[in-house]
Amino acid sequence: MTTDTASSHVKTHGRYIGAGLPRPDAWRLLHGRGRYTDDIKLARTAHVVFVRSPYAHAGISAINVTKAASSAGVIRVVTGKEVAALCQPWVGVLTHLKGLKSAAQYPLAMERARWQGEPVVAVAAESRAQAEDAAQLIDIDWEPLTAVTSPDTALDSRSPVIHPDLGDNLAYQREVDTGGVDEVFAGAHKVVEATFRTSRHTPVTLEPRSILADYNPAERQLTVYQSTQVPYMMQWILAKHFGLKEINVRVIAPDVGGGFGTKIHIYGDEMTAVALSMMLGRPVKFVSDRLESFVTDFHARGHLVKARMAVSVTGDIVGIEMDDLYGIGPYSGYPRGSANEAKQVLNLVGGPYKNRVYRGRTRVVFENKNMYGQYRAVGHPVACAVTEGLVDLAASAIGMDPAEFRYRNYINAEAYPYTLVTGPVFEKLSQHQAHEKLLDLMNYSALRLEQEELRRQGIYRGIGLAAFVEMSNPSSATYGQGGASIASQDGCTMKLTATGGITCAVSINEIGQGATAVVLQIAASAVGVSTENIKIVIGDTDVTPYGGGNWGSRGTGIGGEAVLQAGKALRQNILTFVALLTETEASVLSIRDNSVIETLTGKELMTLEEVARTAYFRSDKVPRDFSPELVVTRHFAQKTYDGICTNGIQGCYLEVDIETGFVRLLKHWVIDDCGTIINPLLVDEQIRGGVVQGIGGALFEECIYSSEGQLMNGSLIDYLVPMACEMPDIEVGHVSTPTATSELGAKGAGEAGTAGAPAAVMNAINDALKPFGVCVTEQPFTPERILRALGKV
């Protein structure tokens, strides 16, 4: 059921909004014509390679670079001090995450290295290979120190303190308590509890982090080509930390091969590449290799959550309590902090359910492990696994079907906008509809029968459900209000070109997710032109309007609305101009198929080419007191709520081989509500990709650290990313509840799959294991862990 509140304009002319068109850049990329940062060759480019700490925690007593400095092709070898002289250190705190603390972080480690992989020395050479050769000649005298590698003991008095000045290893802590928790648990019909563990993940973008910094000392102008999700944030950071004027910093994001949050953080190696370009007055390129990516790209999601749920005899959730603990890196990430997972887990445990008795605590501790922060669906997969895991346990405890249990506990449809006990407001969810639609789609009752029948044959299949909520379209509450210059608004500038084409410059980015397709379709619908006549301009701070870029599922919801408004404004300006020329009223005119027509008769008055020609070359035909404004800019920010919550539910069907502990995924279903859908092909692929990433967490992905803080599986041989062969068919359906906070009505779609999939897989495994009375709650659910639960090993 679609309730389209988008404007009548969009309805009338929206033949591109809602159309499943192939993305316009696919042809180019499939022809090998992508242009990524590493494809950009500038004359006199130096290539930089880093010597990184082999220890998780060690003092640096001496660095000898003599041999390296004279190695063939070497241009410059720099240590932390030299870089620090150019680049101000940073502290990853946000003022509105009260109590979040961190220490000053420098691009290169100086007296002490605090994680394995932290950059220490940089070598710039004529070629990458020469820089690699020289890097091997650098001697560092290390004094290994005890590393903090377990969140469980990081706060013990015997644990070393990573930053003595901070007093302890606690980076952040927050608690909420609605009151009444002890009472409901004491009086509950049933109480279920479990300890849920999610593993540290690394996002593994196809294109690794890459930067090409080109400083021109003659103008004090810095141009940076970077694989980034956030050109304007980078512009701010680079200007601030290198003491440059912001107008003299230009950040260009060419094609970007995946972001997932990896490319919204500040990295010491990238800042060093910029510093080297300033020192050398020539372009400097750094392209992270895969092994470096594993130990430097921000990790995420390694939580330990003890949780319990109280239920009534009739199957109502009456109370939830949870205690979350996780370890970040040795510093809070910059400039977004490493506490957002804490915030999201604390806020969103409880999901789309109406329970209002809640006590929660989250603690974030420093560890001598890789840096840690925002990754697709920040905190949501953790919160969802905890909530949905408890829901299944509770349903089972009272002997109720888990689908029925969920349905009766969802927030009532008339309760929206609904303020959570933790603060955020859900504008409007469609959870009952999504639920009904999912059960239909997966043929839930027939599946249950099949499961029962197969169980009698010794085949153990499980059905798992996971209702999810997902915050999108963030307001300035996320960063701006915390003092970070990270825009929550986005802009679009649209121009009628001299031959009647449209250029559309937007501040959101293409990172492989299809943003250009979305922008193109909205622009075409808004103006009334065909997509072939529109050129999208993206990813260049000298050219596009100011805006936040890509994070937090905001591209379509925020950037798309700016495009819609710019398109409408340009259209209006064109119609006003033509009305003047043809001595009629703009209100009776429309633009259709690249021409201005009389709406009633459909009679063509002028093509857009004629409009442009008149405006630009035949000013003699334009009234003396009128100036046709055929370039317009519009911005949009979502200001009503902290974020717009999307929702949905996933179903998973799988088989557990109880002798081997191996899991075979058979089928996965998702019903998602992202409001207005611009391109259903893209939305479905976003959902599917998100589900696959979630399945990765549930079954495969885990950064395994030794007790000394060594990453034990830091390569694509050992760190198991989900691959196509193991993935089930993923069927996607939709409910559409457009947000009323914008005319477009679009919400985010990029993170929903990731949020719900791990919980759905977990619940399906535990459903399969039910005849054995055992249950697994530690992700990933490896054969080893399943066999242990079954008592086979």
Rule CB under 8 A: say whether 292 interacts with another protein. no
Residue type, 506: V
Residue 42 C-beta: closest distance to another protein, Å: 10
Q: Which two tokens stand for residue 321?
A: 């309590």
Q: Look at residue 713 and give its three-state secondary structure.
A: coil
Rule CB under 8 A: say whether 285 interacts with another protein. yes
Quick one: which of 150, 312, 531, 713 contacts another protein (CB under 8 A)? 713
Quick one: which of 3, 127, 412, 419 contacts another protein (CB under 8 A)? 127
Place of tokens 């372009």: 283
> Please, which residue, 127 or 445, has the CB nearer to another protein?
127
Rule CB under 8 A: say whether 70 interacts with another protein. no
b/e for 705-736, b at 16 or more Cβ within 10 A?
beeebbbebbeeeebbebeeeeebebbbbbbb
Contact 60, 112 (CB under 8 A): yes
Binding mask of the shown chain, residues 733 to 772, with x at each position contacting another protein by CB under 8 A: ----------------------------------------
Residue 300 C-beta: closest distance to another protein, Å: 20
Residue 753 C-beta: closest distance to another protein, Å: 20
Q: How far is CA 87 from CA 71, 227, 741, in A?
A: 27, 21, 41
Rule CB under 8 A: say whether 725 interacts with another protein. yes
Quick one: which of 128, 190, 197, 240 contacts another protein (CB under 8 A)? 128
Quick one: which of 34, 54, 73, 680 contacts another protein (CB under 8 A)? 73
Site size for another protein (CB under 8 A): 37
> Please, which residue, 61 or 660, has the CB nearer to another protein?
660
Quick one: which of 152, 156, 183, 289 contacts another protein (CB under 8 A)? 289
Give the angle 642-645-647 at the CA atoms, nearest 5°. Answer: 170
Quick one: which of 726, 728, 740, 770 contacts another protein (CB under 8 A)? 726
Residue 232 C-beta: closest distance to another protein, Å: 28
Rule CB under 8 A: say whether 136 interacts with another protein. yes
> Please, which residue, 291 or 400, has the CB nearer to another protein?
291
- List, as one string, the DSSP characters of 725-772: GGPPEEEEEE-B---TTSSS-B---SSHHHHHHHHHHHHHHHHHTGGG
Q: Which two tokens stand for residue 57?
A: 């925690």
Q: Look at residue 543 and give its three-state secondary structure.
A: coil
Q: Look at residue 324 and give its three-state secondary structure.
A: strand
Rule CB under 8 A: say whether 572 interacts with another protein. no
Q: By CB under 8 A, which span of 95-103, 390-398, 410-418, 783-791 interacts with another protein? A: 783-791
> Please, which residue, 728 or 733, has the CB nearer to another protein?
728
- The Cα 120–Cα 105 span in angstroms is 12
Rule CB under 8 A: say whether 793 interacts with another protein. yes
For 28, what's the count of Cα atoms within 13 Å in the CB-facing half-sphere?
10
Contact 401, 392 (CB under 8 A): no
Q: By CB under 8 A, which span of 316-324, 336-344, 591-599, 654-662 interacts with another protein? A: 654-662
Q: By CB under 8 A, which span of 60-68, 201-209, 417-425, 781-789 interacts with another protein? A: 781-789
- φ and ψ at 537, to 5 degrees? -115, 130
Q: By CB under 8 A, which span of 120-128, 265-273, 475-483, 731-739 interacts with another protein? A: 120-128
Q: By CB under 8 A, which span of 25-33, 269-277, 631-639, 777-785 interacts with another protein? A: 777-785
> Please, which residue, 45 or 513, has the CB nearer to another protein?
45
Rule CB under 8 A: say whether 454 interacts with another protein. no
Residue 719 C-beta: closest distance to another protein, Å: 10
Q: Which two tokens stand for residue 124?
A: 């710039």
> Please, which residue, 211 or 608, has the CB nearer to another protein?
211
Q: By CB under 8 A, which span of 74-82, 287-295, 496-504, 516-524 interacts with another protein? A: 287-295
Q: By CB under 8 A, which span of 93-101, 422-430, 485-493, 712-720 interacts with another protein? A: 712-720
DSSP state of 21: P
Quick one: which of 445, 723, 729, 772 contacts another protein (CB under 8 A)? 723
Quick one: which of 4, 82, 132, 316 contacts another protein (CB under 8 A)? 132
Residue type, 310: A
Rule CB under 8 A: say whether 659 interacts with another protein. yes
- Using CB under 8 A as the binding rule, the residues of this chain from 43 to 62 that contact another protein are 45, 47
- φ and ψ at 185, to 5 degrees? -70, -35
771: number of Cβ within 10 Å: 10
Rule CB under 8 A: say whether 25 interacts with another protein. no
Q: Look at residue 418 and give its three-state secondary structure.
A: strand
Four-point Cα dihedral 178, 181, 187, 191, nearest 10 = 120
- The Cα 538–Cα 541 span in angstroms is 9
> Please, which residue, 245 or 792, has the CB nearer to another protein?
792
Rule CB under 8 A: say whether 708 interacts with another protein. no
Q: Look at residue 690 and give its three-state secondary structure.
A: helix
- List, as one string, the DSSP characters of 231-300: HHHHHHHHHHHHT--GGGEEEE--B----TTGGGS--HHHHHHHHHHHHHTS-EEEE--HHHHHHHS-BB
Four-point Cα dihedral 525, 527, 530, 536, nearest 10 = -90
Residue 62 C-beta: closest distance to another protein, Å: 24
Selection from 625, 636, 499 nearest residue 568 by Cα: 636
Query: Interface residues with another protein (CB under 8 A)?
Result: 38, 41, 45, 47, 73, 126-130, 132-133, 136, 285, 287, 289, 291, 659-660, 662, 700, 704, 712-713, 717-718, 720, 722-723, 725-726, 782-784, 787, 792-793
